[in-house]
Amino acid sequence: MDTREKLVATAASLFQKEGVRATGLAQILTVSGTPKGSLYYYFPNGKAQLIEAAITYAGQHILEHVQRDLDRYKAPDAALAGQLESMATEMQEKGHLGGNSISLIALETGDDPELQAACSAVFTQLETLYIKKLTSAGIPPDRAQPLGQFIQASIEGAIILAATKDNPDLLRQTADQLTRLIKLALAA
Amino acid sequence: MDTREKLVATAASLFQKEGVRATGLAQILTVSGTPKGSLYYYFPNGKAQLIEAAITYAGQHILEHVQRDLDRYKAPDAALAGQLESMATEMQEKGHLGGNSISLIALETGDDPELQAACSAVFTQLETLYIKKLTSAGIPPDRAQPLGQFIQASIEGAIILAATKDNPDLLRQTADQLTRLIKLALAA
């Protein structure tokens, strides 16, 4: 990992878990073990530029993670149950879900159109993974599109609830409900 | 509205929309038009104490709002569609959804057990409203309980997506998907 990637990966992890306001640039330098000058060298426009790079980096990481989980089972309902089960297990092992969502960053940057666009792009890419999984099982696009969007939104909400209530079972219960919707769409 | 309520109402509104980190105590005093001493008088233990009061206050406001929307239609699917339609309309009129969710506060205070407990309490009260609406339509409690939790979680997620993507239709689409689940539960 080169210096720029070290900076961005550290920032992404801290921003996702603690938030962009709570994470100072000095903390990112300390945790990443990079010299002070590197921040200004790679991100001459300051923190907003680093936040944007961190959103894209975090998004790529989440997308790869979700894609891997979805690829494990052919049927979309089994694949989603597997994804949410692996998230619940991760929460039980690590004690947090910080790496799975950019919701905190999205909510904190509501007043910055460029950062909101970066977050929207990640959300849209995630939806697209779900939509593709649904259409690959024969669900027509006009049904798969809103369902894929809903799957993405309800997983974001489930992550918040599971984290706040410290209850990984809420992720598993989300899979149960989404399974019903997927079966309905498959039978239609 | 007395001075304490003015402080808490102002804090709640700013915390929900901008976040607890971005909102300074000086800003709360200015916006609420209250004297500096009142903050220390009513909240001697500082900002965390004010945040806890604001979570409870915001929660009460959201609960009353949701209850009013749910009461408008007897059928739970129609009631939820009405609630999400009124939220979408509010977003179109005001340009934001800040008053409808404490997700940002919940995510920002992940490291504070007392504030997480206050947020959990609000989330649980909201779930309870949905569960009651479902059971009042004849859905058995063992089915209504996880569905009510899921409704609450998916609405939190939909609020984040609608806000980030600046697209109120995502709230309306959420109602479509939840309607399918409610109809399934009613037919079971």
Residue B104, min C-alpha distance to chain A (Å): 6
**Facing residue for A157 by CB, picked from B21, B155, B173:** B155
Gap between the Cα atoms of A162 and A173, Å rounded: 10
Q: Is residue A107 part of a domain?
A: yes
Residue A10 lies in a domain: no
Please report how the helices B76-94 and B113-136 are oriented relative to each other, as an axis angle in degrees rounded to 10: 130
| Nearest chain B residue (CA) to A149 | B170
pLDDT in tens, A127-136: 999 999 999 9
Tell me how many domains chain A contains. Answer: 1
Element at B70 (helix H, strand E) = helix B47-71
Q: ipTM of the predicted structure?
A: 0.96
Interchain CB distance below 8 Å, B153 and A157: yes
Phi and psi angles of residue A34, each rounded to the nearest 5 degrees, phi first: -115, 150
- Residue A141 to residues A121, A122, A181, B49, Cα–Cα distance (Å): 20, 20, 15, 49
* Domain containing residue A157: CATH number: 1.10.357.10
Considering CB atoms only, which of A107, A119, A177 is closest to B107?
Answer: A107
Residue B175: CB atoms within 10 Å: 22
- Residue-wise pLDDT tens digits, A59-115: 999 999 999 999 999 999 999 999 999 999 999 999 999 899 999 999 999 999 999
The answer to whether B163 touches B97, Cβ cutoff 8 Å, is yes
Q: Is B31 helix (H, G, I), strand (E, B) or coil?
A: helix
Range of the domain at B167: 3-187
Instruction: List, for residues A98-110, the tens digit of each pLDDT value.
Output: 899 999 999 999 9
Chain A residues inside the 8 Å CB shell of B119: 164
pLDDT of B130-180, one tens digit each?
999 999 999 999 999 999 999 999 999 999 999 999 999 999 999 999 999
